[in-house]
A and B are shown apart, each in its own frame.
Chain A
């Protein structure tokens, strides 16, 4: 597939998105943030981890989700099944599990008063039980959270009655990515960055390739196919319900630097695009707050966790094949360094944008056709907020 370098291509396929400037108020308003928490983060499926994090019965992790006013305990039960619960004791609502991750020996015991639950969430022991009143232990288990797994990604949904199953929610993304060797990949590198930025501003900064030749001129300058005016054009933009992907083609003008030449020989598999890929870089926005970005034989996974209207923790993971020798490690170090430096430049731009937004001097952002992904994402946010408002 070759990139069509023409102008105004995406608007024709996405008439519902229009061409108007997009309002910025939702990127700093506390009132809008409160609506997003209820309409999006308490209703949508959210990725909280990978199955590799809990492979053995009793292994667990805890994900604090201040955006949804809770903490979620995810455990692989003694029966091998992955379950999630609000991390909250039935007695007086303390957090039952205080560690970030670990292995339990069949039971979780609340450190406050020793109430004890098994890995299915059932309440198994109450200290001084006889001194309570009409205690119905069978009704006092941990509160379950809807939990399901797609391609090794563990999702939760805080809606007590999710409107869709996870597979329905993922829709066409699941079909497009069927066959990707997720089970052969490992989380080799990861970063966590606490930023003074709205979660949507953070995503928008990643959600286009228009900026690459400029902001990333020393780190990622000439990787993707551009037109005669050096403007990058998307190879594809596809929508899957509330999710989308954009894809770009590798440029034949890319200057292969010497370290890259070395890396290509030392670990060729890290550079070979998977058969599920559309182009050289496929960037999926998994609504609301995840990104899975495929680059050659590796993939990136971002999770954006809002901490407030103007604060977000950006979790970045780079998955590679497990390196078998020092040469493969060095090749992956090269890839990681380039990506991390690029994201580091992005982080600066996130906070610079956020620092002036509230002035209100600019009330809209002006988007070109190659920024259609941003237009689409903001529409999805608006649609969810409106739908919840009834």
Chain B
């Protein structure tokens, strides 16, 4: 936690309402995406997308893999924005409801490879 009480760096504390969507794994992001109402996801997308350049400039100041916790949380939140971009702009995939996305085992997160 920083002095502002935000889990994110102070200049991004306006994204605080979305802190629960800052999660470290793709599997978790997909679960959150599946469960959240479309409108909430669109509101989040509309809030974060205009800030993406500033977020990137901030995050690019740290080496990958060596970010302070609040930067890492902001990075994870921005990844969630990328996960939901098509849904927010084009609508939820009707097909996605009919095949359990958990069956796509992400090899890049298993640590086995």
A and B found bound together: yes
- By a CB distance below 8 angstroms, the chain B residues around A221 are 90
B75 beta carbon closer than 8 Å to chain A = yes
A317 to B106, alpha carbons, bound, how many Å? Answer: 10
Q: B91 touching A218 by the CB < 8 A rule?
A: yes
**CB-CB under 8 A for A257 and B85, given A218-B90, A218-B94, A348-B95:** yes
A345 beta carbon closer than 8 Å to chain B = yes
Q: B86 touching A257 by the CB < 8 A rule?
A: yes
Q: Give the secondary structure class of B's interface.
A: helix
Query: Restricting to B19-56, which residues have a CB under 8 Å from any CB of A?
Result: 45, 49, 52-53, 56
For residue B59, give the distance in angstroms from its CB to the closest CB of chain A. 4
Q: A193 touching B112 by the CB < 8 A rule?
A: no
- By a CB distance below 8 angstroms, the chain A residues around B64 are 323-326, 329
Q: Give the secondary structure class of A's interface.
A: helix
In-complex Cβ contact of B89 among A259, A262, A341 (8 A)? A259
Interface residue tally of chain B, by bracket? 35 or more
B96 beta carbon closer than 8 Å to chain A = yes
Q: B75 touching A219 by the CB < 8 A rule?
A: no
- By a CB distance below 8 angstroms, the chain B residues around A215 are 95
Which residues of B pack against A, CB within 8 Å? 45, 49, 52-53, 56, 59-60, 62, 64, 67, 75, 78-79, 81-83, 85-87, 89-96, 98-99, 101, 103-108, 112-113
Which residues of A pack against B, CB within 8 Å? 100-101, 187-195, 215, 217-219, 221, 257-260, 262-263, 265-266, 316-317, 323-327, 329-330, 333-334, 337-338, 340-341, 343-345, 347-349, 351-352
What are 25 A-B contacts defined by CB distance under 8 Å?
A187-B108, A189-B106, A191-B104, A193-B104, A195-B103, A217-B90, A218-B91, A257-B85, A257-B86, A259-B49, A259-B52, A265-B53, A316-B104, A325-B60, A326-B60, A326-B67, A329-B79, A330-B56, A330-B75, A333-B79, A334-B82, A345-B96, A347-B103, A351-B99, A352-B98
